[in-house]
Amino acid sequence: MPEVTRDLLIVGAGAAGLTAALTAAEHGARVLMLTKGHAPDSSSWHAQGGIAGAVGDDDTATLHAVDTERAGRDLCRPSAVRVLTEEGPERVRDLIALGVPFDPELSLEGGHSRRRVSSVDGAATGWAVTSVLGRRAASSELIATSEATNVLALWVSGGRCLGVVTPDGPIAARATILAMGGAAALWARTTNPEGQIGDAIAIGFAAGAAVADLEFMQFHPTVLAGSRLLLTEALRGEGATLLDEKGERFVDELAPRDEVARAMVRKGSVRLDLRDVDRARFPGLMAEIEKAGFNPAIEPIPVSPAAHYTIGGVVTDLIGRTDIAGLYAAGESAATGVHGANRLASNSLLECLVFGRRAALAALDEPAAPSRPEAPPPAPPARVASAELREQVWRQAGVMRDPADLTDLARSPDPVAALVARFALARSESRGVHYRIDAPTTNQTLEGHFVLRPGQELTLEHWS
Ligand SMILES: Cc1cc2nc3c(=O)[nH]c(=O)nc-3n(C[C@H](O)[C@H](O)[C@H](O)COP(=O)(O)OP(=O)(O)OC[C@H]3O[C@@H](n4cnc5c(N)ncnc54)[C@H](O)[C@@H]3O)c2cc1C
């Protein structure tokens, strides 16, 4: 057995991983953080608009909870929403105390009934937050980070997680937290960094953990064609319009994301007209658009929807515990049920802060590893998402889904692609971000979370 030199192993260095690491170190734990790539390879680093949290004078956790549940289309787990919205303001204040330079005004985003989104320079929130947290972690003697370390499997012995398996061998710890982000880069059109292909789902499920809600992939409507550049909803809030091939508007630009995305897919080719927007308010984005070869002052720019946020993941309770003792999950990797069938804008960074902290505190209570464990498994080959696979997932599990396509995708050799298809087939209705062309309405009998445990059938569970 490799020597256990760390109390806590955290896979992932985005907002969830960094929050967990700093929380554990605050309590004197020795932490090792592993990441597949480098800092800019996390979705957290790229997050734009901000972090929701009822910190305004006219706001309450209850109002935030009502908005979250409305967006989630009758599927949010109420206890998780309570935790998120009640603990959220304190976590935002923690970031202020650490020096995150939030803008003086709170922003209003789609689906929120109050101004409650804290942002940095309008659209640089993720970079600012991960930079501050990352610097803090780097200066802690209790936190070590190993970059470019691809975690390939979990090491489970006697039903207990003892650590992870990497190409360089096993790493042991008293507890392990999966903070590995989502799976949106498994789709050809995505806003996520390319490594975000659902490794937490793949290794968690392979090791025996339950997964849930994998049919719910949130698509962002306005992503610059041919790129991963997300064009924030705030642009549409400031007057940007969506135009079809004839140059005519065809949808309420401020309708929910899933409705706008479907209207765009039905049209085929769509452009975003930024000519009437005060473009000086979005200097970074305008520079990126121009770098990509477009001039938004002169002509509308081509956009299309892209896979953006993974609502499902490894099933956890409200303190991040999975089905496997000693294994936790937090952030986009976890399925707490907090987002229901549709995530409210800016609730995901908040989820990383709230549940990342909770998971770390719970993981600190794990007992020491057994003295005579089973040997770790050999390192399996790294999972790779080829361009063909990503095109197939986009085509067969995209914005509008056909059961024949899903049946085909369910036979994919890629475990996550196949799981997404199985879940999307089981949910024979349309709800939130999941749209089935053969069942375009909501079916009340499917009000629940689809859960799959290795070796069992999919079951519909009701989470309170
Ligand atoms: C362009 C963009 C804009 C967004 N804007 C917002 C916003 O304004 N507000 C908001 O709330 N949310 C936003 N989101 C969503 C939000 O950023 C994410 O949900 C959140 O940051 C996820 O954080 P995380 O810590 O769970 O995962 P991530 O930040 O994605 O971090 C995952 C980590 O896991 C590591 N990893 C993955 N697989 C492996 C492996 N096999 N081995 C080792 N390491 C691995 C990665 O290298 C990375 O360090 C946005 C997302 C994107 C892509």
Q: Is pLDDT at 1 greater than 70 in this prediction?
A: no
Distance 53 CA to ligand 1 centre (A): 19
Q: Is pLDDT at 81 greater than 70 in this prediction?
A: yes
Residue with CA nearest ligand 1 atom 51: 47
Fold of 1-216+311-464: FAD/NAD(P)-binding domain (3.50.50)
- The model's pLDDT over 172-181, given as tens digits with 9 standing for 90+, comes to 999 999 999 9
Predicted local confidence at residue 234, as pLDDT:
77
Q: Is pLDDT at 347 greater than 80 in this prediction?
A: yes
State how far the Cα of 177 lies from the Cα of 164, in Å rounded to an integer: 10
Among 44, 100, 199, say which to mutate for ligand 1: greatest number of ligand atoms within 8 Å of CB: 44
Q: Where does the pLDDT of residue 214 fall: very low under 50, low under 70, confident under 90, or very high at 90 and above?
A: very high
Q: Where does the pLDDT of residue 3 fall: very low under 50, low under 70, confident under 90, or very high at 90 and above?
A: low
Architecture per CATH, 219-306: Alpha-Beta Complex (3.90)
Domains of the chain by residue range: 1-216+311-464, 219-306
Q: Is pLDDT at 322 greater than 70 in this prediction?
A: yes
Q: Is pLDDT at 251 greater than 90 in this prediction?
A: yes
- The model's pLDDT over 148-169, given as tens digits with 9 standing for 90+, comes to 999 999 999 999 999 999 999 9
State how far the Cα of 392 lies from the Cα of 412, in Å rounded to an integer: 9
Q: Is pLDDT at 60 greater than 70 in this prediction?
A: yes
**What average pLDDT is seen over the chain?**
95
Question: 175-184, 257-266, 367-376, 393-402: which has the minimum mean pLDDT?
Answer: 367-376
Nearest ligand 1 atom to the CA of 351 is 11
Residue 51, beta-bridge partner list: 118
Nearest ligand 1 atom to the CA of 152 is 41
Distance 424 CA to ligand 1 centre (A): 23
For residues 177-200, average pLDDT: 97
Residues labelled as active-site residues: 257
Among 125, 180, 232, 384, say which to mutate for ligand 1: greatest number of ligand atoms within 8 Å of CB: 180
Predicted local confidence at residue 265, as pLDDT:
95
- The model's pLDDT over 220-235, given as tens digits with 9 standing for 90+, comes to 999 999 999 999 887 8
- The model's pLDDT over 277-287, given as tens digits with 9 standing for 90+, comes to 988 878 888 99
Q: Where does the pLDDT of residue 4 fall: very low under 50, low under 70, confident under 90, or very high at 90 and above?
A: low
Distance 329 CA to ligand 1 centre (A): 13
Distance 309 CA to ligand 1 centre (A): 9
Contacting residues for 338 by C-beta, under 8 A, at least 6 apart:
68, 76, 77, 80, 81, 83, 84, 347, 351, 355
How large a percentage of the chain has pLDDT more than 90?
86
For residues 443-458, average pLDDT: 96
Q: Which of 44, 42, 211 is nearest to 125 (CA)?
A: 44
For residues 429-446, average pLDDT: 97
Q: Which of 76, 84, 122 is nearest to 353 (CA)?
A: 84
State how far the Cα of 206 lies from the Cα of 198, in Å rounded to an integer: 12
Helix, coil or strand: residue 250: coil
For residues 403-412, average pLDDT: 98
